[in-house]
A and B are shown apart, each in its own frame.
Chain A
Amino acid sequence: MRLRERIAERVAGWARRRQGEELLPLELQSRRLYILPTRIGLGIGALLLIMMLAGLNYANSLALLLTFTVGSVVLASMHECHRTLRGLIVAEATVGECFAGSTGWLELQLQNSVAVARRSLQLRSAGGEAVSLDLQPAAAASVKLAIAARQRGRQTLPRLELASTAPFGLFRAWTWLHLESSFVVYPAPVGRRALPERAGGRSGRDTPQGAGEHEWVALRRFQSGDSPQRVAWKLVARGAPPMVAQYAGDPGARHVLRYNDLTHSSTEERLSQLALWVLECERRGESYALQLPHLSLPLGCGARQRRAALEALGLFVAA
């Protein structure tokens, strides 16, 4: 087992050096495709060998014709298997929000530009579960791949393996994707403290979820950075321009989330509590500011703010 792992490591390193830098979008070329028979393919190979020996031994033409036909079908299938991956385009890779201790999602956009379906595709991250999919002719599909996130902080994407066993499952063609991007694992959003109400840390509500806060009272035009949760999608569906709902519960509600306010806790507990608050504010659609010992984020709300805040928490290094 040890030896196998070491060999696998060596092979991975070799492939890494060989394939070089990989920028998306990436069209899979023959150079980076590898192919080997599967276990069943080896079995069929042994079967064909025995069939051929029998045919030769008895000088039986029909048996040989049968063997050669099956052999040729298998050989042609090898080329088809290779073809299934060749020219496939890996267009985009995005990592969704990923909190420590849970599974994050890597979303890969695959594109098939040819008029033939690419079947039996399997995508797997190193050591992870495989996801199977078929790509229809001239179609794109996105695949979500679970990636384990144990600790908060910056993490590089694991090596991905994109494989196909089409058409018979006798051969397996694959390629390794070394995507250059890294992502930040956010602290796990846990905590028991109530969200600090209003600027200044004055505590107002007891329950974080006040009644009626989901009833919007006014609409304004969408600006970039607004949370998509606040967009009035029903109106968009009717053809209106994207509008953002302004809720009754938050006419200018602001929260200042301070690291230093959270006493009597360890660093990680504090970060987790802050992350929970950030999510809570975003859910309510209320503005918040984040103040860490070496960094402070001004008031804001929406995807950009959320991302900045969570990344800051994820990358936080105690002084």
Chain B
Amino acid sequence: MPSTPKTLPPTAAVVPAAMALALAGLFVAAAANLQHLAWWCLPLCVLAIGWRLSVARHLRRLPGRAARLILVALLTLTVIVNLRTLSGLAVWATLLVAMCTAKLLEARTPRDWYLLCGASLYLLLAACLDREQLWRLPIYVAGLWLVIGALHGLGSGGGTPPALELLRRAGRSLLLALPLALVLFVCFPRLPGAFWALPTSEQAVTGLGDEMSPGSISSLFESDEPAFRVRFDGAVPPPEQRYWRGPVLHDFDGYTWRRRTGGFNGAPELQYLGPAYHYQITLEPNEHNTIIALEMPAAPDLPFAFFTGDEQLIATRSGDAARNYTLTSYPLARNLAPLSASTRQIDLALPANRNPRTVALALALRRDAASDQDYIAAVVRYLRAGGFQYTLTPPRLSLNSVDDFLFDTREGFCGHFASAFATLMRAGGVPARVVTGYQGGEWNRFGQYLSVRQSQAHAWTEVWLEPSGWVRLDPTAIVAPQRLTSGIFDLLGSAFSPTERVLHEWPWIGNVIAGWQALSAWWQDDVVGFGFLRQMNLLERLGFNSADWRALPALLAAGGSVWLLWMLWILRHEWRSAAPDRLARAWLRVGAKLAAVGLGRRANEGPLAYAERCAAQRPMLAEPLRALARQYAELRYGPPPAPAAMRSFARAVREFRIA
């Protein structure tokens, strides 16, 4: 019978606490992969863990072989079916969790549990490869701690230590190992590039996209996550000049604005005026591929991006390099190039039969305007007086989105205003385009940088005016000027949840958040971002030739040796002789005194025999030595000695002299 149920022996070789810790470690490791596991994977694993715990507690039977084989086959099949929807790393993580789930059904011997611990370590690795944010660090530490505790339990020998004791031992192991881990982290030679690349995840990126359809969004999800950080080398631009330029949208179908591929080759001719700002931008990981720059960047020389005619920075590749770059910007720069016919055509185009009321309004306003400037002023007046409301929860709009917004709903966020304004401009014969990016930024005084959050994503317009070229006009600022200078909380206090208002009313919470963000920034820059280049920089700072990577093994050896000495010192301290054995030490002192005159104790000699032998050699010592030996034997082998007797023996040993 292949499916004979096997009983769990009542005295399993694996300590129950070790099992509990291994299961907890597996759970944490699997949960750390939650973001890319197949949806069924974690619940199944949790079920299996709970079931296995109850089996261990009630000493129930493990399922038979047939049941296990069926389960493994089912799980493998499910993973294969899911294969298409998962990316490379996620497939491995899902498969691993599924196999661990199956393994739980037959985990009996210590070897099985070691295997589960190894799988948990792999899962933690997969999670680390996928996400490296600071807030996840406690999860990884917890997982690692539990797994090390489980290993302590598996190797614990005869005793049955409780889980807390195992965790204490694991904590000690981790503390002992940490210095070496840091030495290895800093000194182990890193690679300048990957030698084998897994296909990366092809999931949609969040943040700024290549298109914008304000009418399709009924509630703008305001994410407070940081989008990027800017460290300024010198002055920081004032709030009204903090326009962070992203994708420029030209094509409009009445509902959606889209980026245009091609048509804007060649760098723009810019005249750089006013103050210059030098800064370094660090984009948060897992972001879009867009390169953000303060308007207007000057002749950027980035190896991974090119500058287009409509002043966009387009990334040519992704990766760590494209997340961190240095630029110089002139907020007051002007575009000197004349508007080409093709560009004029692109930026005046409007879809036929869409937004007819808007077009009619534009024509009416245009008829009364003497110049482009007059027309713009008329549109601005219209928007100011029209009773428009800034909101993050606008109603949905039809395909004639601008008509709906201007004449019916009159509620919207930056995208609605930019879209409507650009449409009005184009209908009135003024070339216009929509620019997306971010606006604003908060100064983090702990980290000394400007932090721009996802919620500060913004859209504005640029119009072509004859003498000055492309001019930025921010219609949102016209309707709700506070949106620019002050925070979004002042503007829309009532629209926010109670927790967010609490946050606004007690600024110390804001301080805590700023501190946390500065810590996160340090984590991203100096720990997560510690790669080949940073390592070379470090070498240079330590006075080595930066190209000479051979300094690294030398540093590694030096650091490792220091750690070894330190660890051996700690171990030596821990493994010192037990304190209470004063008696033996006193007796050894007698032996040492006698050894000095060539009468060392033989290994197999008892105290009395030793005393006799010495007495025979040195009759002068016979009396005190016999007394000492007798005293020692009594104290050692008799009933537990009184402290006074111990003291008198110690004194006698001290006074024992060899003339």
Interface residues of A (CB under 8 A from B): 23-26, 40, 43-44, 47, 51, 54-73, 75-77, 79-80, 83, 86-87, 112-116, 119-121, 132-134, 137-138, 165-170
Contacts and interface: CB of A to CB of B under 8 A. Distances in A.
A40 B532 CA distance: 33
A80 B159 CA distance: 18
Given A51-B121, A75-B180, A168 B571 contact: no
Contacts of A47: 118, 121-122
Interface stretch (B171-179, B389-397, B620-628): B171-179
B155 A59 contact: no
Interface string B190-211: 1101111110000000000000
B144 interface: yes
Contacts of A120: 155-158
Given A23-B603, A56-B190, A79 B132 contact: no
Contact of B194 (A23, A59, A169): A59
B110 A169 contact: yes
A59 B173 contact: no
Contacts of B530: 61
Instruction: Output the residue of B124, B177, B190, B574 with the most chain A CB within 10 A.
Output: B177
Contacts of A63: 125, 128-129
A-B pairs, top 6 by smallest CB distance, nearest first, are A138-B578, A120-B157, A72-B177, A169-B155, A72-B180, A68-B184
Given A40-B114, A73-B148, A134-B158, A51 B122 contact: yes
A222 B621 CA distance: 34
B184 A59 contact: no
B493 interface: no
A168 B581 contact: no
A25 B531 CA distance: 55
A120 B206 CA distance: 54
A76 B173 contact: yes
A91 to B, nearest CB: 10
Given A56-B190, A57-B196, A64-B185, A168 B155 contact: yes
22 contacts: A23-B602, A23-B604, A25-B604, A40-B114, A43-B114, A47-B118, A55-B129, A56-B190, A61-B531, A62-B527, A64-B184, A69-B181, A72-B180, A73-B177, A75-B177, A76-B180, A79-B567, A113-B581, A114-B578, A133-B157, A134-B159, A168-B151
B576 A119 contact: no
B169 interface: yes
Interface string B218-262: 000000000000000000000000000000000000000000000
B529 interface: yes
Nearest to B529: A61
Given A44-B118, A68-B180, A69-B144, 19 more contacts: A51-B121, A59-B194, A59-B320, A59-B532, A64-B188, A65-B181, A65-B527, A72-B184, A76-B567, A114-B576, A114-B577, A115-B576, A119-B157, A133-B157, A138-B578, A138-B580, A167-B151, A168-B155, A169-B114
Contacts of A112: 578
B568 interface: yes
